[in-house]
Structure 1
């Protein structure tokens, strides 16, 4: 777990820095500077691009991780890397041609409720392509055990440049319309920077030759395209559907709430950058016991860290919304619903990495497609009835069902178990601390109240997790920190 902990720690720090920058923008700058209409529009464009990104990437970012370790010679590795970069271009061209042919129909469908979308609709495929090739070159770096730079670009770089652009609006250097176009340019720069970094790690030797195991590669990647679409639809499909039923400004309210809740999944995102290729290697080498041990460790460690983040959000959510425009206040319930769904998905550890690198990925994929259909149906039912709260409820039901299905599949088919007695202890501690602090109200400035309550939550939560040794790895890390502090004295 050495390299996992090392790079996971760096990735976690980087990701939280990125989320801090994004949090400042999302909570305090986007609403007053962009306004709800253009803020909702920006989120809608990025959500649509994220949903179609797996089609443009053809699943090559996952395929690269799974098959690269199976290449035995330098020649095979060069052929495979070339294939993962060049082959997606064929499908990209095909998709763009289809999009141009049906442009009028697509444009009418997505703009019938919010006509403002029409002017910017072409940015969706452009950003989707940039996202796709960013992920491919990020995977290129990750298979060589370099996950930090790409994570920095993804989590910090994009948000930092977006913040700069936002300040450009504030100081009247650019208009809100310029901001939308500039956002597309930022994703292009991120893709190019990651490409050059990947090439520096492993110099490309492009060969227009099909790998010898192309049949297995294409079979796997065809399923991964769908699985990626399933995952992204579960993540962003709700925002897309809100555009069909409500004024686009409601996407701004919903996006703020979901952004707050998504902070809970940061530890998972950070750890998976390095755990994914390690999981693929262990499965390729049939090291079942080591994989099972990794499964348990990732589960409990993510549960503890994610539980702490969730607690800090939930107990402070009322004070946090006090600092925002009142029209955003309806998002509090959305934060709880989306947050709980992210927490449950988080405690499954490296579940996704195990499934997508196993021979059973097809069956789970079809289950995922069914759940996307369920998500669409639930949104169609609940959005007209309850608005953004209805969309959050539909997302909570869908993601929870999907997570439970994946868990049972891994347990039954592969006999891998993520939970231990410590799992129950962690849930008990988290729930107890929530009840202890949620109903406390400090009649002072919201920022001071949030800081004070967070410090108290941290002390109590860390104490009980350390005392009951819920995670030996986290206890060891804390012991090392305490030792360094004592030596420093």
Structure 2
């Protein structure tokens, strides 16, 4: 648990810096610098690129986490594992190019009616997929070495800083929109380049292959696992991006842009989950390989309570400041409030169930992840198709929330049946009651002063009252240990 705690703290700090940068770009710059159509284009390109990237990985991003321990040997250059990390996804990228050119007319026809700007910038998907692909696989290799921080810095700080600079350049007319889009795509290519520089400086840029290390049994295991992780990951990405993809066709890029900003605000709640998720898969994979199921169960429970505590605080803060937030955004984003709350509630539920998906994917039952996710894809597509035409962006949010809820129920039941594990402790109820009380009290207080003064006072007060309650009720051993360490340093 020590390495999870340490790197989770580092990742949380980095991600919160990223939140600050993301707040500047997403709340202030994107809505005021780009039109909703133009911002919707960037989100749609990213969502489609993520789908293409998933099968282009050829499963290598998940294979790195699960199988690196079998190759790990620095003196022997990790037995050529990094060579596989580079070559296997390149074959997948070639496959992507074939699909891209073969089905381009069909894809463009799907968006030609309400998303003409996407049709114009469709070729930008090729370099965008390449950059995302190699950042994902190289970052998985780096994370497999128990180094999750470099990828966090690049993804959360460097990329968002570059985005802010590009938006400022576009604001002052130093870039045309076309030039902005070229630079936007190049920023994603920069990410894997920086990781390669990191490995070089660490003396671990091992490019020499060692084919004789992989015997037939290991090759089959890696291949089977890779295949199911491709399909499972593809299904998961469809669920997470189908709202943006279908909004672009059914409702247009402008509504896609509005929804994307609302989705971003709601998704801020998941920051602690992302921080833990950068290191915990590596640890769980090792514990499962060692058949240390007691430790896996311990991590499962710990991940639930320690994700809910900060997640609930952020959710309270967003809900309590929703009126202020909508006052900051341009008038055309006024309908984003309901989407923010629905997505926020769904993300909080997703945090409360802990790392259920990580355990399944790294266990011998990883095939179930594919089966359950395919079922979820069907539900997600159907609900989006039915609800978007009726409720617009709120319908997309409802469809996403329903999908997340069903998916986690299925995974939770499976883990209980197979491993007799469940993530909840009675202390979860304490967090729920405390959160409800703090939220109710905050909503009863009228705005104090200007928007920004009210945000500061309201948020600070909520944080102090909530954190005090968490510590006094001893909800989490980890939180209380961190508080004890802080008191020692201060006093």
- C-alpha distance in 2, partners of 1:55/1:348? 27
**Cα deviation digits, residues 372-397 of structure 1 (max 9, x gap):** 11111111101110100011011110
- Aligned pairs for 1:338-487 within 5 A: 338-486=343-491
- C-alpha distance in 1, partners of 2:12/2:208? 34
Change beyond 3 A, Cα 1:412–1:198: farther
Deviation at 1:290, TM superposition (A): 1.4
1:271 aligns with 2:276: yes
Deviation at 1:70, TM superposition (A): 2.4
- C-alpha distance in 2, partners of 1:230/1:9? 30
- C-alpha distance in 2, partners of 1:184/1:205? 27
Deviation at 1:104, TM superposition (A): 2.1
Q: Which runs of 5+ in 2 are unaligned?
A: none
Q: Is the 8 A contact 2:56 2:95 kept in 1?
A: no
1:25 aligns with 2:30: no
Query: 410-419 or 9-18, which moves further after superposition?
Result: 410-419
Q: Is the 8 A contact 2:308 2:351 kept in 1?
A: yes
Provide the residue aligned with 2:56 in structure 1.
56
Q: Is the 8 A contact 1:257 1:335 kept in 2?
A: yes
Provide the residue aligned with 1:303 in structure 2.
308
Q: Which runs of 5+ in 1 are unaligned?
A: none
SS at match of 1:206: coil
- Aligned pairs for 1:236-275 within 5 A: 236-275=241-280
- C-alpha distance in 2, partners of 1:240/1:325? 24
Deviation at 1:208, TM superposition (A): 6.2
Provide the residue aligned with 2:164 in structure 1.
163
**Cα deviation digits, residues 75-116 of structure 1 (max 9, x gap):** 593233322321122222122123213322222223232222
- C-alpha distance in 1, partners of 2:245/2:443? 33
Q: Is the 8 A contact 1:351 1:406 kept in 2?
A: yes
Provide the residue aligned with 2:69 in structure 1.
69
Q: Is the 8 A contact 1:79 1:209 kept in 2?
A: yes
Q: Is the 8 A contact 2:60 2:137 kept in 1?
A: yes
Q: Is the 8 A contact 1:429 1:464 kept in 2?
A: yes
SS at match of 1:122: helix
Deviation at 1:199, TM superposition (A): 4.1
SS at match of 1:286: coil
**Cα deviation digits, residues 421-470 of structure 1 (max 9, x gap):** 11111122112211121232214211111111111111111111111100
Q: Is the 8 A contact 2:89 2:133 kept in 1?
A: no
Provide the residue aligned with 1:81 in structure 2.
82
Deviation at 1:203, TM superposition (A): 2.8
Q: Is the 8 A contact 1:64 1:81 kept in 2?
A: no
SS at match of 1:102: helix
Q: TM-score, normalised by structure 2?
A: 0.96
Q: Is the 8 A contact 2:85 2:138 kept in 1?
A: no
1:314 aligns with 2:319: yes
Q: Is the 8 A contact 1:60 1:221 kept in 2?
A: yes
Deviation at 1:185, TM superposition (A): 0.3
Provide the residue aligned with 1:12 in structure 2.
12
Q: TM-score, normalised by structure 1?
A: 0.96
Provide the residue aligned with 1:153 in structure 2.
154
Q: Is the 8 A contact 2:52 2:96 kept in 1?
A: no
- C-alpha distance in 1, partners of 2:207/2:30? 44
**Cα deviation digits, residues 154-201 of structure 1 (max 9, x gap):** 111111101000000111110122111111100001111112223444
Deviation at 1:132, TM superposition (A): 1.4
Query: 93-102 or 198-207, which moves further after superposition?
Result: 198-207
- C-alpha distance in 2, partners of 1:101/1:50? 18
SS at match of 2:323: helix
Provide the residue aligned with 1:323 in structure 2.
328
SS at match of 2:263: helix
Query: 179-188 or 46-55, which moves further after superposition?
Result: 46-55
Change beyond 3 A, Cα 1:76–1:29: closer
**Cα deviation digits, residues 126-167 of structure 1 (max 9, x gap):** 212211110111111111111111111011111110100000
Structural RMSD (CA): 1.5
Query: 339-348 or 194-203, which moves further after superposition?
Result: 194-203
